[in-house]
Every structure is written in structure tokens, then in C-alpha cells.
Structure 1
Amino acid sequence: MANILPFSSPMPSLAFSILVPLLFSFSSAASIGDLLQAHGLPGGLLPKTVESFSHDPSSGLLEVLIDHPCYARYEGGLAFFDREVRGNLSYGALQGVVGWSQEELFLWLPVKEIFVADSDSGVILFDIGVARKRLPVSSFEDPPDCLPGTEDAAAAALGPLGRKGFWQQR
């Protein structure tokens, strides 16, 4: 009778070389940007100050904790992020968004949904309830800086033409 050693045949090493990459492809994303990109969204949608995040692939629920409530400037305007941002992540969309507001015409409107209009067009749409804002996907390649949620930080985020007192409008 021949002695058979556990890894003497090429089959276990072949199985190992196939299974290990599969296991890593199903593991959680290394960063929120990686997770967003894996779902067809630009990696820079959320600010640099993301502290942690969790994603339940079965329900799509995405929960993101940001270091502190803050303002971020994008090419298309100014956004405010609460400490916690939630939504249902699916391919090309983040729906039922909570904790994210966008400034439009001196008003702060909650972002309800974000989705890529058409991957060929390079346009991302923000549903802010009363309208849909079309922005270039390229505006969201890199995560923006996020200034703490104070009136001074908001004025700084607005730049030299910023208005005094808009903090109270929020």
C-alpha cells in the first residue's frame, strides 16, 4: 500500500490556487471608495473623513460614519454630511440616502438618491426631491476635504463669495 501525503497530488494546490482568489474577491472592500467603485459609482462621492463603514450585500444597506458633521465642496456645489450617512447601495445607485444635504439656491435640500445616468455619458444624477442635479462623474474621482460643521467652516467652504449667516438656513 502506498503512502499518500496530504499535499502530494497537484489537485489540492490547484484547488487552493482557485479558491483563495475567489475568497478575496468576496471579502469586504478595503475603503469606501473601493466599495463605491465596485458598485459602479465614483470612489470620491464621500469625503476623506470617513471613519468607518459597513455594507450588507444581501440587503444593500450601507452605513458610513464620518469623523464629524462637515461641509465638502464639489465642482457642482456644497454638500453637508451628518456624522452618519446611510443608503441602499446597488449597482450604479445609492437610494434612500439619509444624512447628506446639498445646497441649491440658498436652500439645503436632502439628497434622496444618487445614480449614474449612463456610464457612457459620464454623468451622475443627484435626486434632491424637487429636482435632479446632473454633474460630471469626473467631479467625484477623488474624495473631497471635509471642513467641520461650523459657520466659519461653511463660509470657508463657500469661498470668498460666501454668504454670512447661511448656517441658520440649514
Structure 2
Amino acid sequence: MAAAAKEGGIVKKGHEEGMKMATSLLQEFELPMGLLPLADVVEVGYVKETGYMWIVQKKKVEHEFKLISKLVSYDTEITGRIEKKRIKKLKGVKAKELMLWPPVSEITVDDPPTGKIHFKSLAGITKTFPVEAFAAGQ
């Protein structure tokens, strides 16, 4: 991770403070609250000028979003650029497709809202799901 990208960033250390910050970023940018089901967060950072955000957690987390029966893997390091209803250049998140784990490169919520959220993989495949599948606690 380039130190230059983190310059001027707000950084929160520890799980509680890190989760608070991650949650407030999701709120601010109108993304579903349960999108980042993290465990043992070490650090969360955000650079307002560029939208660059990063999350470091102690271990990889696999989370099943039950409403859509999707298993998603969150690496120890997650980075991306967050903007209104979207996370671009996402790294460190994979969604299981059959036996494969293609990396997710972009997450977008429809604007105006349709109740849909789209996950785009590096391979160019886009999967669409109901936003409520990623509500907090799902």
C-alpha cells in the first residue's frame, strides 16, 4: 500500500474506533451498513480529498450474506476509493462463485435508488443483489 495514497488521511486505530469510522463512511456515502462485516480491525483510514480508504484487520473474514446465500471473503487489507453510492478500485474483497473467488473491483448502489446493489469483478462480470441483503446484521 503506497504511503503517498494515505497522506493527509484520518486514521482510527483499534476495532471499536475503526468500526465506528467504517460505519460512518458507509452512512455518509449512502452504502449499506452491513457491507463491511469486519472482525479484529487494526486500522481504518480515509483521505477526504481523494476518497481513498483502507482497512487493516488481523485476519481474513468470511461472511455469508444469508438473504442471497453469498459467501464473501474480506482480506486482512482492504483498499478502495469511496464516493457517493460507490466504492471503486476495490482490493481485498472476493465473492464466491461456485468454486471460484473472483476479486470484486467495484460496488455500486443505484442512484436514484432502485433497491439494487451491483458487484463488478475484474473479469467484467457484474452481479446484482437487493440492497437489503447487506443491511447491518445480515
**TM-score, normalised to structure 2's length?**
0.77
Mapped partners of 1:33, 1:123: distance in 2: 20
Q: Which residue of 2 aligns with 1:68?
A: 59
Q: Which residue of 2 aligns with 1:122?
A: 115
* Count, aligned residues: 117
Name the larger-Rg structure. Answer: 1
Structure 2: where are the runs of 5+ without partners?
A: 1-11
Deviation at 1:119, TM superposition (A): 4.3
Q: 3-state DSSP class of the match of 2:45?
A: strand
Percentage of matched positions with identical amino acids: 27
Structure 1: where are the runs of 5+ without partners?
A: 1-27, 145-170
Query: Is 1:46–1:143's contact at 8 Å kept on the other side of the alignment?
Result: no
- What letter corresponds to residue 79 of structure 1 in structure 2? V
Runs ≥4 residues deviating over 4 A: none
Structure 2 counterpart of 1:132, from 110, 126, 130: 126
What is the root-mean-square deviation in Å for CA atoms of aligned residues? 1.9
Mapped partners of 2:109, 2:116: distance in 1: 6
Structure 1 counterpart of 2:44, from 29, 48, 53: 53
- What letter corresponds to residue 137 of structure 1 in structure 2? V
Q: 3-state DSSP class of the match of 2:101?
A: strand
Mapped partners of 2:40, 2:87: distance in 1: 17
**TM-score, normalised to structure 1's length?**
0.63
CA distances 1:65-85 after superposition (whole Å, capped 9, x unpaired): 123112110133111111010
Structure with greater helix percent: 1
Deviation at 1:120, TM superposition (A): 2.5
